[in-house]
């Protein structure tokens, strides 16, 4: 690749969902745009990875899309058939105090909408239930905007056994440092009872779907719509040089590509080194604590396996488990797993288990199997798959959104665009929405 190639209108750095979707929406709005998606690794999709093995289909990375933000219409438009998780699998258990108990129904991220919802749960002791009920009578108090409000209003046990397993399982990080406005906007600005605030808020249960043939079919459909000749794989951008008429993207082998506009669809830690020389003020804003994870898929002989009912187990922080959560894939997506198999997908958060960062795959598999054996009857796994996700997802800590908005504005002032999970919301639906909005702005500008 040399700079003698015609100058592109738009170069998109990063071929994850955000980068591909930006290209897709931009071409839909403005088909004549000369653009390229430049991906550093040998494959597009970023975090999205679908394992097809032994007649089983397992989304190792993201497996569901929240249908808000037009995510399901994006699937429809691309001809990707989406399905809902099995309703039989709606129930989830929480591992706490050496045992598992079902999460009560009707909670919002583990926070009850009424005292009745937690009156009978075995996840809380009687004193903890009474402590949680104090939420209804405690005086109003200004919070710091973090989810520390959960413990101060509902008590420690409700935080540890109801809210934290779910919220930290999804976002990583500690409740005391997570931004309530990002994770639970219904509670943002609440000074008084959380139970009452949720009871007052419109009851919107986000609908989840997943592409029936795996999340990679969404990536394949996006890539197909963008078309192969516009996607460059295994081309890591190592520098951006500014010229009079645009930007020159420099690759490791010294080759280059010119573009009038540059979109960075990468996490902040990958964007900052490229932008720092041109926008030094980003040093103070374009940073996010990232979560590193390991995902382990284990397949068992279903005839010798006895798992709890429901779709999986979440783990309270004080339980010394390798994984923060495990999904029973055959229960959640029954048509994706061949008869006779029980397939589980466990997520290890390396913040909680830094010791496993250097462990061998065998050691990781053994640790997950041993933890699962505490709550289920499982024989030796028939096969296993281990996938590493270093610095994969931004943790929405207090101030994250404001910092990202500021970074975006600073980058925009210098002529660069930022898109993706760090800026538009941690999930795929946010990435798709952010990509659509950016494409509209680029096409209109």
Ligand X SMILES: Cc1cc2nc3c(=O)[nH]c(=O)nc-3n(C[C@H](O)[C@H](O)[C@H](O)COP(=O)(O)OP(=O)(O)OC[C@H]3O[C@@H](n4cnc5c(N)ncnc54)[C@H](O)[C@@H]3O)c2cc1C
Q: What's the first-to-final CA gap in the chain, in angstroms?
A: 28
Q: How far apart are CA 387 and CA 407, in angstroms?
A: 31
Residue keyed to tokens 């996010």: 288
CB nearer to ligand X: give 118 or 219: 219
Q: How far apart are CA 164 and CA 353, in angstroms?
A: 16
CB nearer to ligand X: give 95 or 265: 265
Beta-carbon contacts of residue 204 (< 8 Å; ≥ 6 apart): none
- The stretch near ligand X (CB under 6 A) out of 135-143, 253-261, 301-309, 421-429 is 421-429
Q: How far apart are CA 55 and CA 362, in angstroms?
A: 23
Interaction of residue 18 with ligand X, rule CB under 6 A: yes
Helix boundaries (H) for 213-326: 216-226, 268-275
Structural element, H or E, at residue 346: strand 341-349
- The stretch near ligand X (CB under 6 A) out of 17-25, 103-111, 216-224, 296-304 is 17-25
Interaction of residue 173 with ligand X, rule CB under 6 A: no
Q: Is the CB of residue 37 less than 8 Å from the CB of residue 12? A: yes
Query: Residues in contact with ligand X, total (CB under 6 A)?
Result: 38
The site string for ligand X over 38-67 (x = CB under 6 A, - otherwise) reads: xxxx----xxx------------xxxxx--
Interaction of residue 85 with ligand X, rule CB under 6 A: no
The CA-atom distances, in angstroms, between 416 and each of 5, 58, 85, 279, 412 are: 21, 36, 39, 10, 5
Beta-carbon contacts of residue 1 (< 8 Å; ≥ 6 apart): 232, 235, 251, 255, 256, 257
- The stretch near ligand X (CB under 6 A) out of 3-11, 91-99, 352-360, 388-396 is 388-396
Chain centroid to CA 425: how far? 9
Beta-carbon contacts of residue 444 (< 8 Å; ≥ 6 apart): none
Interaction of residue 270 with ligand X, rule CB under 6 A: yes
Helix boundaries (H) for 33-83: 71-78
Q: How far is the CB of 441 from ligand X (least distance, A)?
A: 17
Interaction of residue 294 with ligand X, rule CB under 6 A: no
Interaction of residue 267 with ligand X, rule CB under 6 A: yes
Q: How far is the CB of 356 from ligand X (least distance, A)?
A: 15
Structure-token pair, residue 407: 């970074």
In this chain, which of 51, 295, 439, 442 binds ligand X, going by CB under 6 A? Answer: 295
CB nearer to ligand X: give 19 or 308: 19
- The stretch near ligand X (CB under 6 A) out of 82-90, 261-269, 354-362, 375-383 is 261-269
CB nearer to ligand X: give 53 or 236: 236
Pick from 192, 177, 168, 109: nearest CA to 145: 177
Q: How far is the CB of 265 from ligand X (least distance, A)?
A: 5
Interaction of residue 431 with ligand X, rule CB under 6 A: yes
Q: Is the CB of residue 233 less than 8 Å from the CB of residue 44? A: yes
The site string for ligand X over 212-251 (x = CB under 6 A, - otherwise) reads: ------------------------xx--------------
Q: How far is the CB of 251 from ligand X (least distance, A)?
A: 9
CB nearer to ligand X: give 38 or 132: 38
Binding site for ligand X (CB under 6 A): 13-19, 38-41, 46-48, 61-65, 236-237, 265-267, 270, 293, 295, 347, 389, 392-393, 420-421, 426-429, 431
């Amino acid at each position: 690749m040399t700079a003698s190639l015609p100058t592109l209108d738009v170069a998109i750095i990063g071929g994850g969902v955000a980068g591909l979707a930006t290209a897709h929406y931009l071409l839909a709005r403005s088909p004549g745009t000369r653009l390229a998606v430049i991906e550093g690794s040998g494959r597009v999709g970023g975090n999205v990875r679908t394992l097809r093995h032994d007649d089983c289909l397992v989304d190792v990375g993201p497996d569901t899309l929240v249908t808000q933000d037009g995510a399901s219409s994006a699937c429809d438009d691309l001809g990707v058939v989406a399905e809902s998780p099995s309703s039989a699998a709606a129930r989830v258990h929480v591992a706490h105090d050496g045992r598992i108990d079902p999460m009560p129904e009707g909670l919002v991220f583990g926070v009850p909408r009424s005292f009745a919802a937690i009156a009978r749960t075995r996840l809380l002791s009687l004193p903890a239930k009474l402590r949680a009920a104090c939420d209804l009578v405690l005086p109003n108090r200004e919070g710091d905007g973090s989810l520390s409000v959960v413990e101060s209003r509902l008590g420690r046990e409700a935080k540890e056994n109801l809210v934290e397993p779910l919220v930290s399982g999804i976002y990583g990080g500690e409740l005391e440092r997570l931004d309530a406005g990002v994770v639970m906007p219904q509670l943002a600005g609440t000074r008084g009872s959380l139970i009452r605030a949720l009871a007052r808020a419109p009851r919107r249960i986000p609908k989840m779907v997943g592409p029936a043939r795996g999340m990679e079919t969404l990536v394949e459909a996006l890539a197909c719509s963008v078309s192969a000749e516009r996607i460059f794989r295994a081309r890591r951008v190592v520098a951006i040089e500014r010229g009079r008429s645009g930007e020159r993207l420099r690759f490791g082998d010294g080759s280059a590509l010119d573009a009038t506009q540059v979109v960075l669809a990468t996490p902040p830690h990958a964007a900052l080194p490229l932008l720092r020389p041109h926008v030094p003020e980003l040093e103070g804003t374009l940073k996010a604590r990232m979560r590193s994870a390991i995902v382990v898929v284990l397949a068992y002989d279903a005839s010798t396996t006895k798992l709890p009912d429901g779709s999986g187990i979440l783990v309270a922080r004080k339980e010394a488990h390798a994984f923060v959560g495990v999904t029973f894939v055959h229960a959640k997506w029954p048509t994706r797993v061949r008869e006779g198999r029980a397939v589980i997908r466990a997520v290890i958060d390396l913040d909680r288990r830094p010791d496993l960062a250097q462990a061998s795959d065998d050691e990781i598999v053994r640790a997950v199997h041993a933890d699962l054996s505490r709550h289920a009857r499982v024989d030796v796994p028939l096969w296993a798959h281990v996938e590493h996700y270093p610095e994969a997802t931004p943790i929405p800590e207090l101030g994250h959104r404001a910092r990202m908005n500021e970074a975006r504005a600073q980058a925009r002032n210098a002529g660069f665009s930022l898109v993706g999970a760090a800026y538009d919301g941690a999930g795929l639906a946010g990435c798709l929405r952010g990509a659509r909005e950016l494409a509209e702005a680029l096409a209109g500008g």
